[in-house]
Amino acid sequence: MTEAAHDSTLDFNRRALIKGTLFGVATVPLVWGSDASAAPSAVQTVKAYGTASISLTINRQQYKLDVDVRASLLDALRDTAGLTGTKKGCDHGQCGACTVLVDGKRQLSCMSFAVMNQGKQITTIEGLESAGGELHPMQQAFLDHDAFQCGYCTPGQILSGIACINEGHASTDDDIREYMSGNLCRCAAYPNIVAAVKQARDKMGRA
């Protein structure tokens, strides 16, 4: 870039800055050269920068949500849709607490942008029980086997257990341990979790 071109860019940016239009945001003059007491000529609707209006299908229900374009699916579920059953552990894809089902497959919701999930079927722990209020076989199995203590990891474990069975990865204890290994339990309820997944597998009629 030549010296002159460099100077002109600088000049443009300084002018834009002083006019308040550097980032494309128009401002309304408040005092100088205007009549501050005059009625506003038009109402301006201003949307927060970087937000998006999206539509998500969660537990067979449509949700219209305004979210930051950078919001994770986890934050959209918990903070915007109010579905706090899905838990935030590490927020870095390492603990499995935030596991949900997307189109039937397990997904770490902290690792997926909310905007990427439009048009997909999202299932959270709140969507598992039947319309008549009957628990999903996996939920019932966790109760029957005391497969939790504090319960913080439990929604993710339950969703992951369902996917594990549907993937055909629950035929042996070793398989269950291996394919559930992305879901950490700090209370170390692992033996009971394996027992619960086996009970649910048999109830669900899958290998």
Going by the DSSP 8-state scheme, the letter that residue 120 receives in this structure is: S
Least separation in angstroms between residue 34's CB and ligand FES is: 51
110 contacts ligand FES (rule: CB under 6 A): yes
For residues 124 and 154, which CB has a smaller minimum distance to ligand FES in the complex?
154
For residues 157 and 199, which CB has a smaller minimum distance to ligand FES in the complex?
157
91 contacts ligand FES (rule: CB under 6 A): yes
How many residues bind ligand FES, per CB under 6 A?
23
13: its two tokens: 């940016």
3-state SS class at 203: helix
158 contacts ligand FES (rule: CB under 6 A): no
Distance of CA 38 to the CA centre of its chain: 46
- The one-letter code for the residue type at 114 is A
For residues 95 and 200, which CB has a smaller minimum distance to ligand FES in the complex?
95
Paired strand residues for 105: 102
Given 8, 13, 94, 172, the residue binding ligand FES (CB under 6 A): 94
Least separation in angstroms between residue 107's CB and ligand FES is: 10
From first CA to last CA, the distance across the chain in angstroms is 66
For residues 80 and 206, which CB has a smaller minimum distance to ligand FES in the complex?
80
Paired strand residues for 43: none
For residues 3 and 81, which CB has a smaller minimum distance to ligand FES in the complex?
81
CB 162 within 8 Å of CB 101: yes
12: its two tokens: 């443009």
CB 11 within 8 Å of CB 5: no
Q: Tell me which residues touch ligand FES (CB under 6 A).
A: 88-91, 93-98, 108, 110, 148-154, 185-187, 189
